[in-house]
Amino acid sequence: QQRRVSLASALIHEPELLILDEPTVGVDPVLRQIIWDHLVNITQTGSTTVIITTHYIDETRQAHLIGLMRGGYFLAEESPTDLLARFGTDSLEEVFLRLSVKQNLTKQNGNGIVNESADIEDMPNGEAPKGFGDTLTCRSKGHYASAPIDLQYVEKSTFNKLQLLPSIDRNHIRTMLWINGLWMLRNFPVVLFVFMLPLVQMSLFCTAIGRDPRGLTVAIVNYETGNNVNCDSTLECNSTTLSCSYLSYLGKKDVKFVYYESDYEATNSVLKGKTYASIVIKSNYTTALQARIAEWRDAEPWDIAASEIDVLRDTTSKDIATFLKIYMYESFQDFIGGYLESCDLSPRAVAIPFQWKKPIYGVSYPNFTDFMNPGMILTTIFFLSVALTAGAMIIQRNQGSIERAMVSGVTPVELLITHIIWQFVMMMVQLTIVLVWSFVIFELTLNGSVVLVALLSILTGFCGMCFGFAISCGVDSERMATYVALGSFFPLVMLSGIAWPIEGMHYLLQLCSFLLPLTKATESFRSILQRGWGITSPVVYMGFISIAVWTLIFLLLSIVLLKVKKG
């Protein structure tokens, strides 16, 4: 009754196109004929086109055009009258049987016999040729049919291991590539967003991460000059305001001074978060410092105490507190060195007894941008590929495109290949944007081979594509795919040595870190960019091996899930 109501409600609206799936299943022959007569009537007298799917072949005699399908292939697509006349029979069931036999005979059988004929007329009673997993057996005394068939003996082929590999149809590949290309053209805003995303991400990273903080506010209490901003900062051996000279050196670090009248006010400004630190200079700072330098071995305790600068910091922001400490140390080192030179003394007399040579790799003052850049590039390429592939396949699966393709005979391997080709093209565009933006626009460090940089980036992007395919094949919704991708993002960033050295982790996490796909790749990429190492270095080629192994794992997992998972 529900099926009848559904059919009736569809007919009431008089649609231009009516698609019916098995409309006569479970009804008696009289009602079936009534339904067909009515459908024929509305197509002849009205403007309705009717498309019907049914496995009752003989009932389609009244249709204008029928298509017989078996094994995912159309056997024929003609009018019923033409088919009956061509095969000289009065039964469409007989026509379908002969077409099925013809289809089987066009395939090579297990005895090395290949059919070279396309005409089927008669076949002796018995068992019809097998194919497509079917066994057609004749039980009646009639003949099935096929007249003379030109057969050619072919030498029985030996077993070839290549037969175990899945077959690939070029027509399927070409068609699926065309379908995916049309989908991208129809969703051009999405494609444009995908291409703009790496540009925005790398721009934000290069302009926001790793730069030295500037404009830090510091509270100053200078009892020696009474907070006089215009005091003499000239650095001379007989200077009476060395505190002004030191503050002038510190000001070159782009530190902003806020002057207060007392220690209490300066400390209170730090407590209220108005300043990052407070500096208090005592009233007899210059004389005490000069006495400490002149009589450094026999300096009086009060001269030592008076020549010290009191600093109070807010260390809740570790990076800012560390940079302030570095600024103050470097400024004092430059200041005291200049003062000793003005007194014809060697600055090395008061320097820390370490001689820092020129670094073997890197620069004397490394920045955090260069440290994070290798991991950031690989992470960006990897997860953009993950998002691109996982989202595209799930969208097409939810739209039914993948199911229709597989019903038409497209294999999971062919489906995966077509997606890989298109996503690889898009990944290459994203990768080019990332590399050009990093090394050409922002001029980040690149001391190694450009070819190795490009190859490792491509491998990482391809690995991300395969990971995205595995996600899309293993989950059922875009929401779940998003959860899996985001859930894997933070562990990879935190444990792959991208934002912090692996040596700073717990030893158990270090063991886990070496199993992640981006850990070895990041080390390899960093060695290429900053050390200039080649492929012969174990650190470099281990990164390539690691990412290649993970790519193979994700790819095999995708194929298995495509074959196993339903839907």
Q: What is the pLDDT of residues 429-442, one digit of tens each?
A: 999 999 999 999 99
Closest Cα partner for 120 from 96, 137, 152, 90? 96
C-alpha distance from residue 455 to each of 277, 460, 525, 527 (Å) = 48, 9, 10, 14
C-alpha distance from residue 247 to each of 268, 283, 333, 345 (Å) = 21, 15, 12, 22
First to last CA, the chain: 29
| Mean pLDDT (whole number) for 73-100 | 87
Q: For residues 367 and 211, is the Cβ–Cβ distance under 8 A?
A: yes
Percent of the chain clearing pLDDT 90 (strictly above):
35
**pLDDT at res. 120:** 45
Residue 264 has pLDDT above 90, yes or no: yes
Q: Which residue has the higher pLDDT, 402 or 67?
A: 67
List pLDDT tens digits, range 487-533: 999 888 899 988 889 998 988 999 889 889 999 999 999 999 999 99
Q: Which pLDDT band, with edges at 50, 70 and 90, does 160 fall under?
A: low
Residue 158 has pLDDT above 60, yes or no: no
Q: Which residue has the higher pLDDT, 29 or 274?
A: 274
Q: Which pLDDT band, with edges at 50, 70 and 90, does 338 fall under?
A: very high
Residue 398 has pLDDT above 80, yes or no: no
Closest Cα partner for 401 from 102, 86, 155, 186? 186
List pLDDT tens digits, range 26-66: 778 888 888 888 888 888 888 889 898 888 888 888 888 99
**Cα dihedral 398, 404, 405, 407 sign:** positive
**pLDDT at res. 153:** 46
SS (H, E, C) 202-249: HHHHHHHCCCCCCCEEEEEEECCCCCCCCCCCCCCCCCCCHHHHHHHH
**pLDDT at res. 170:** 84
**pLDDT at res. 115:** 39
| CA-only gyration radius of the chain, Å | 40
Q: For residues 195 and 189, is the Cβ–Cβ distance under 8 A?
A: no
Q: What is the mean pLDDT of the chain?
A: 83
**Cα dihedral 396, 178, 404, 420 sign:** negative
- Top-ranked range on mean pLDDT: pick from 220-234, 255-269, 470-484: 255-269
C-alpha distance from residue 243 to each of 238, 257, 307, 333 (Å) = 13, 14, 10, 14
H/E segment holding residue 45: helix 29-45
- Structural tokens at position 257: 């001074």
List pLDDT tens digits, range 199-242: 999 999 999 888 889 999 999 999 999 888 888 888 888 888 99
State the Cα–Cα distance between residues 225 and 282, nearest whole angstrom: 9
**pLDDT at res. 309:** 94
**pLDDT at res. 165:** 54
Phi, psi (degrees; rounded to nearest 5) at 239: -65, 145
Q: Which pLDDT band, with edges at 50, 70 and 90, does 166 fall under?
A: low
Q: Which pLDDT band, with edges at 50, 70 and 90, does 110 fall under?
A: very low
Length of the chain: 567
| Mean pLDDT (whole number) for 365-380 | 90
**pLDDT at res. 121:** 45
Q: For residues 232 and 248, is the Cβ–Cβ distance under 8 A?
A: no
Counting Cβ atoms within 10 Å, is residue 520 exposed (0-12), middle (13-18) or buried (19+)?
Answer: buried
- Structural tokens at position 349: 């007399």
**pLDDT at res. 111:** 40
C-alpha distance from residue 411 to each of 406, 562, 563 (Å) = 6, 9, 9
Residue 255 has pLDDT above 90, yes or no: yes
Residue 327 has pLDDT above 90, yes or no: yes
State the Cα–Cα distance between residues 32 and 53, nearest whole angstrom: 14
* Residue listed under structure tokens 């459908």: 39
Predicted TM-score of the model (pTM): 0.68
Q: What is the largest CA-CA distance in the chain?
A: 128
**pLDDT at res. 230:** 85
DSSP secondary structure code for residue 520 in this structure? H
**pLDDT at res. 326:** 93
How does DSSP assign 75-96, residue by residue? EEEE-HHHHHHHHT-S-HHHHH
Q: For residues 268 and 312, is the Cβ–Cβ distance under 8 A?
A: no
Q: What are the structural domains, with CATH classification, of the chain? A: 1-104 (3.40.50.300), 170-206+367-566 (no CATH), 216-343 (3.40.190)
